[in-house]
Each structure stands twice: as C-alpha cells, then as structure tokens.
C-alpha cells in the first residue's frame, strides 16, 4: 500500500458548458449542451459536454445529440468553441504549474498532479489542494473537483465522487477502507467483459477482488490479472507523466451526413489540424508522426500514418502532411465510391517543443513561430473570429 505519495486528480466541472455559462449570464442555471447541432432532433454527432442542469434530464457526454434534444428540447444547444476552451485551459495549466512541475495532462480539462515534492511550500497536501481550487476560481470564475490520494486510481475515483466543486482526501491509512466497498468496475482498465467474468465468480466489489489469490486472477486474465490484484490492494506505482511523455494528441469529427464533398473534407481537415496544433503548442510539444483516420459509410475504418522529416507543431505542416496521406489513400482506390462518415487526425512520437531536429532550418522555424504567436495573440484578444485563414472563407 502506498504511504508517501500525494497524487491529485483535478477535473474541471462541466468545462465547456461552464465556460459558456460564465461568459453569457443568460445561460446561468440553464440546461446548456455543447456539441453538434441537434437540428430539431434530426442532427448527427454527439454531446461534447453539458451543464449540471442538463444532466438532470439524463443528458451526458458522448450521448447522440438527437437523443439529447429529445430529452430536453428547451436546452440551450451551442457549438464547440475549441479556441475559447483552449485559451481557458492554458490559463488553468499555468495556475497548476505554480504548484508543481509534475503534471500529467489527460485532456483539455483534466490532469494528474504529483505534489509530493512541493506541498510543503503551501502547508500540507490538503491545504495545497484548497489553494489550487481557490486560485482557479478566483482567476477563471470556474470550479474544479479534486481528489487527493496516495495512488492515481484512488485520486481519480475521489474527484469523481465529490463532483461538482468538491475536494476529497483519501489518506494512505484509509485507502483500503475507501476502495474496498466500491464495485469492481472502478478498477482502472477493468472493462465490461472482465466485470462479467468476475461477477459470474461472485466477485463484485474491490474487496472481493483483493482477497482472491493473485495466481487465480492471472489464470483468468493473464498479466492483467496481476495488475487488477495490485490495484485492488492499494498498490499502484504508476508515475505522473509530464507533458513531454504524452503518447499522442488527436482530434476527430463525425459528419452530419456521410459526404464525398471534397471542399467540406478539406475544410474539416484544416479545422482538425488547427485543434491538434493548438493543443500541441499549449503543451509545448511537437510531433514526428501524423496519422489520418477515415471511417466510410458502413463503418469500415482505415488508418494511414506518415513520419514527417522534421518534428512540428505548426498547423500548415500538419495540414500538408494530412493532405499527402489523404491523396495517397484516395489514389489507392480503397475508398471507391464510398462516402466518408468520420475523419480524425492524430499526432504522435512527441518531443518537447524546444528540442531541435536540425540547426539548418532555424530561421524558417523562427519565422513560422512568430506567425503562430501573432495569430494566437489576436485570437486570444478578439476570439476565434478575430483572424482566420483565407482557406476558411466560405
């Protein structure tokens, strides 16, 4: 059982919807749904997130937008404004960096922090968490839920339990008391099929799982069985990984109607590349590999990847690489007459932004960096419509 680590899981409450409610007083205390256009119940796509007022109607993230509309037609449905959310996210991560350099970014609004080596600067681990919450609320007018525990899994469960605007501390002495009554599906990585297998054997709680022999679980699940046993017994040595250790950054979208419109596809590529580039730059990362995901009518899905000559986080480079992959995919004849349902872009093989691949392109990089910073400054001041590329003009 862990005894000396202090891991924090922070999750912003209904992030996209909360930002919209903050910025528009008319949305306050109203059911707000951020995601695809519902088109009066005929829209495609899903809910990105929703306010707690909307959740009372059964609406939740990843729910088809048409169902969300049927559950609450009077809700305020808003499009995703990723530029705005990224700007707020950068503000939040800047705050977190004042408490610890050990931050693992899980998403735009969720992270793990290891405050083991820094909490003493702020008093105690719990006092540090209180200060984090207070600073976020003061500077962004948004609320966050925090779980503090000796392990990553316990910290995440704790933050989930105390939402919204909560703070829950699980001490090492109380770790098993906290974990053992919980259902086994709370174990990280234990999915629906594994749950069914264990339930058939009368194993329903984490305590039930912890009291099994390790070899018995290995005989059922292989190496994963040993992993489940350790987690159930409060043993988790997984580290909080810094941003430079992130494996990939990706973005995808589902078209409202399956499409063969090359202009729409091109514009969507550009939108996704803007999103991925913004997130890479926010985390001060650049990528060596770009992967394109294409799902056709009938749900047949293809992925194609390309390693680029020089790691980048510049949107034009990511877009150019994406177009190259797409053109090769089309010329291969695999697509045929099929229409496209979904496209996604993933960047991987990430390295720190300041790490150089070559000294020869330094001047070109500085020029592009200056251009990106100028665009980001304008968007930060005037919003997403403050500046846009000529290719985006409709």
| DSSP letters for 74-92 | TSEEE---HHHHHHHHHHH
pLDDT at 380: 52
The CATH number of residue 203's host domain is 1.10.150.20
Q: 83, 110, 252, 369: which one is catalytic?
A: 110
Q: Are 261 and 328 in the same domain?
A: yes
- Is the backbone peptide bond immediately before 221 cis, with ω within 30 degrees of 0? no
Residue at which a domain ends, from 232, 262, 292: 232
Residue 163 maps to a domain: no
Residue 52 forms part of a structural domain: no
Sort 244 into a burial class: Cβ within 10 Å, 0-12 / 13-18 / 19+: middle
If asked whether residues 347 and 386 sit together in one domain, one would say yes
| pLDDT recorded at residue 365 | 62
Assign residue 284 the CATH number of its domain.
3.30.1490.100
Tell me the C-alpha to C-alpha distance, in Å, between residue 346 and each of 29, 41, 245, 288, 388: 36, 31, 16, 11, 22
Residues 280, 364 within the same domain: yes
Count, in order, helices (H) and strands (E) of the chain.
14, 12
- Between CA 225 and CA 26 the distance in angstroms is 51
Residue 268 lies in a domain: yes
Same structural domain, 253 and 186: no
Q: Check whether residue 257 and residue 299 sit in a common domain.
A: yes
Beta strands in 89-199 (DSSP E): 103-107, 110-114, 144-149, 167-169
Bridge partners of 103, per DSSP, are 113
Is 332 in the same domain as 372?
A: yes
Q: Is residue 238 part of a domain?
A: no
Range of the domain at 267: 243-392
Assigned domain for 203 exists: yes
Regarding whether 247 and 387 lie in a shared domain, the answer is yes
Closest CA to 114 of 151, 145, 169: 151
Of 165, 200, 232, which residue is a domain's last? 232
Q: Are 185 and 289 members of one domain?
A: no
Our count of domains for the chain comes to 2
Is 226 tagged catalytic? Answer: no
205 phi, psi to nearest 5 deg? -110, 165
Q: Indicate whether 250 and 388 sit together in one domain.
A: yes
DSSP 241: P
Q: What is the pLDDT of residue 245?
A: 56
Per-residue pLDDT 10s for the chain (394 aa) are 444 799 999 999 999 999 999 999 999 999 999 998 999 888 888 899 999 999 999 999 889 999 999 999 999 999 999 889 989 999 999 999 999 988 988 888 999 999 999 999 999 999 999 999 999 999 999 999 999 999 999 999 999 999 999 999 999 999 999 999 999 999 988 888 899 999 999 999 999 999 999 999 999 998 889 999 999 999 988 888 765 556 788 898 888 888 999 999 999 999 999 999 988 888 888 999 999 999 998 778 899 999 888 899 999 999 999 999 999 999 988 888 889 989 999 999 888 887 765 544 555 566 666 656 555 555 555 444 444 454 443 3
CA distance 147 to 332: 50
What are the residues facing 344 on neighbouring strands? 252, 293
Return the SS3 of 357: coil
340 with 370, same domain: the answer is yes
Which of 203, 232, 261 represents a domain boundary (last residue)? 232
Looking from the CA of 252 toward its CB, the CA atoms found within 13 Å total: 19
Residues 227 and 265 in one domain: no
Strands 340-352 and 47-50: unpaired
Establish if 166 belongs to a structural domain: no
Asked if residue 321 belongs to a domain, the reply is yes
Shared domain check, 311 and 185: no
Residue 364 belongs to a domain = yes
């Amino acid at each position: 059982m862990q005894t000396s680590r202090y891991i924090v899981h922070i999750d912003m409450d209904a992030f996209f919807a909360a930002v919209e409610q903050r910025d528009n007083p008319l949305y306050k205390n109203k059911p707000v749904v951020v995601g695809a256009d519902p088109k009066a119940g005929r829209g495609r796509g899903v809910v990105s997130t929703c306010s707690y007022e909307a959740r009372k109607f059964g609406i939740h993230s990843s729910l088809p937008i048409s169902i969300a509309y049927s559950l609450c037609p009077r809700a305020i449905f808003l499009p995703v404004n990723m530029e705005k959310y990224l700007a707020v996210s950068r503000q939040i991560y800047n705050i977190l960096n004042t408490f610890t350099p050990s931050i693992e970014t899980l998403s735009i609004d969720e992270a793990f922090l290891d405050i083991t080596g820094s909490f003493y600067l702020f008093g105690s681990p719990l006092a540090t968490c209180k200060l984090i919450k207070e600073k976020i609320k003061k500077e962004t007018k948004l609320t966050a839920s925090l779980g503090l525990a000796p392990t990553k899994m316990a910290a995440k469960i704790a933050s989930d339990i105390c939402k919204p605007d909560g703070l829950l501390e699980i001490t090492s002495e109380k770790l098993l008391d906290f974990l053992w009554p919980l259902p086994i599906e709370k174990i990280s990585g234990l999915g629906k099929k594994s749950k069914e297998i264990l339930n058939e054997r009368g194993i329903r709680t984490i305590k039930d799982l912890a009291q099994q022999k390790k070899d018995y679980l290995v005989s059922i699940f292989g190496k994963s069985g040993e992993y489940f046993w350790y987690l159930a017994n409060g043993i988790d040595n997984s580290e909080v990984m810094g941003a430079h250790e992130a494996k990939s950054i990706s973005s995808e979208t589902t078209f409202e109607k399956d499409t063969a419109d090359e202009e729409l596809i091109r514009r969507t590529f550009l939108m996704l590349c803007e999103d991925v580039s913004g997130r890479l730059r926010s985390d001060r990362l650049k990528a060596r590999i770009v992967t394109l995901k294409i799902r056709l009518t009938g749900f047949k899905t293809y992925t194609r990847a390309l390693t680029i000559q020089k790691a980048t986080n510049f949107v034009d480079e990511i877009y150019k690489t994406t177009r190259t992959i797409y053109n090769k995919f089309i010329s291969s004849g695999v697509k045929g007459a099929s229409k496209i349902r979904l496209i996604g872009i993933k960047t991987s093989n990430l390295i720190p932004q300041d790490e150089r691949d070559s000294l020869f392109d330094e001047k070109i990089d500085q020029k592009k960096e200056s251009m990106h910073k100028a665009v980001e400054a304008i968007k930060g001041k005037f919003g997403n419509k403050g500046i846009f590329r000529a290719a985006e003009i409709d």
